Structure 1
Amino acid sequence: MIARRADPYRDTDVIDSRAPRVNQTVVALLALATLFTGSPIFVALQAAQLWIGLTLGRRFCLSCLFYFEVLQPRIGEGPIEDSRPPRFANLVGAIFLTASTVAYVIGLAAVGAVLAGIVAALAALAAATGLCAGCEMYRVAARLRGIRPGPLARVDLADFGAAPRGEIVVQFTHPLCTDCRTLEDKLRSQGREVVTVDVAKRPELARKYGIALVPTAVAVAPGGIVTARIA
């Protein structure tokens, strides 16, 4: 058994980045099965499975169980990422697959096929390349709602226990996030002073500053003025 940094059933705010790609593979195959057979049973089953997983958690997600219990112990743990983007992608997929199922049932087979085709194409793209349309939608929305000059022009340095004499970088992070560690190492290698905020331990600060995605990093002047968005 491999040593896991992130427990897939307890550390649900992060996820092994390979797990969503396995799930997308299953989604693509079942959507394609509906397109080839004309039967809505496949998209209906996948829609139900997505809704169950979203509602009850990974222990009730069959593709998640297959990855975490069968594949991951054999191939090892992949990079750990924020689980919110793939979760949002699953929500979008569940909505489209549900709509496809309803369309087939009420006799709008062409509409159902188009919706299933969209899901199949996007899921196959995500599975093959890692480019997840739903995840990117979430990230764009997160950036629009996150820290940026304008709506949030200042932070309270006392929140972070910082009293810098020069510019610092405030990075919102998670201890299991691979990209967070990579970004922090890069910033420190550039000689920048980095103050990290663990959103798992300080969720109130994540809410206060509208942090919807990690890593999020901003350059902050001594007076608390946000001068630049870094990530």
Structure 2
Amino acid sequence: MTSTTPATAAGIDPRGPRFAAAVTTVVLAVALVLDNVWVLLFQAVVFAIASGLGLGASPYGWLYRTFVRPRLGPPAELEDPAPPRFAQTVGLVVTAIGVVLSLAGVTWAVTAFGALAIVAAFLNAAFGLCIGCEMYLAIARLRSRPA
């Protein structure tokens, strides 16, 4: 779910967020299989970095820029980095709730909130459907409506 190329005035490579969503899916699958709050916390930190510092600051962004992007041709189009960055914030909120509840003793928190996050990450990785991005666009439409 993170964008993984530096944002420019023109936009970001849309393949970066899909790559990051694939990595996120794997990390969240590990958290779910192991029922491990620390793996969920790791993913929450990745979301926090991308949300707070920008998409290009994400560790998954570094992986994409370093190992994947050099082997690809240029993207057909660029996208606005704001929706994927908002999606990172949504992922942060969901995983942070799971971490906090789990550390507070709620035994099902990693499973429940990890499952919510993995569905969103998988949809983005496999089908290019970014739920957080769609939320961003819906909010933008609502805000621009005349009163």
TM-score tier after normalising by the smaller chain length: 0.7 to 0.9
Q: What pairs up with 1:40-59 in 2 under 5 angstroms?
A: 40-59=37-56
Q: Which runs of 5+ in 1 are unaligned?
A: 1-7, 153-231
Q: Distance in 1 between matches of 2:10 and 2:137?
A: 15
C-alpha separation between the residues in 2 aligned to 1:48 and 1:121?
Answer: 19
Candidates 93, 99, 107, aligned match of 1:95:
93
1: distance between equivalents of 2:71 and 2:9? Answer: 21
The answer to whether the Cα contact below 8 Å between 1:99 and 1:112 also exists between their aligned partners in 2 is: no
Question: What does the per-residue CA deviation read over 1:155-199, in whole Å, with 9 as the maximum and x for residues that have no partner?
Answer: xxxxxxxxxxxxxxxxxxxxxxxxxxxxxxxxxxxxxxxxxxxxx
Answering whether residue 138 of structure 2 is matched by residue 140 of structure 1, we say yes
Name the SS of the counterpart of 1:114 in structure 2: helix
Between the two structures, name the one with larger relative contact order (CA 8 Å, sep ≥ 6). Answer: 2
Q: Is the 8 A contact 1:58 1:64 kept in 2?
A: yes
More strand by share: 1
Q: Deviations over 1:52-111 (max 9, x none)?
A: 222223453111111122211101232211111111111000111111111221111213
Q: For residues 87 and 121 of structure 2, what CA distance do their matches in structure 1 show? A: 10
Q: Note closer, same or farther for the CA distance 1:55–1:107 as it changes in structure 2 (3 Å cut).
A: same
| 1:120 equivalent in alignment to 2:118 | yes
Show the counterpart of 1:24: 21
| TM value normalised by structure 1 | 0.57
**Which has the larger share of helix?**
2
Corresponding letter in the other structure for 2:26 = L
Q: Which residue is equivalent to 1:62? A: 59
The separation in 1 between residues aligned to 2:41 and 2:32, in whole angstroms, is 13
- 1:108 is matched with which residue? 106
TM value normalised by structure 2: 0.87
| Cα pair 1:85 1:138 within 8 Å, conserved | yes
Percentage of pairs with the same residue: 32
Is contact 2:86-2:136 (8 Å) kept?
yes
The count of corresponding residues between Structure 1 and Structure 2 is 142
Q: CA RMSD in A?
A: 1.8
The answer for the alignment partner of 1:130 in structure 2 is 128
Residue 13 of structure 1: CA displacement? 6.9
Q: Deviations over 1:1-20 (max 9, x none)?
A: xxxxxxx4351772111111
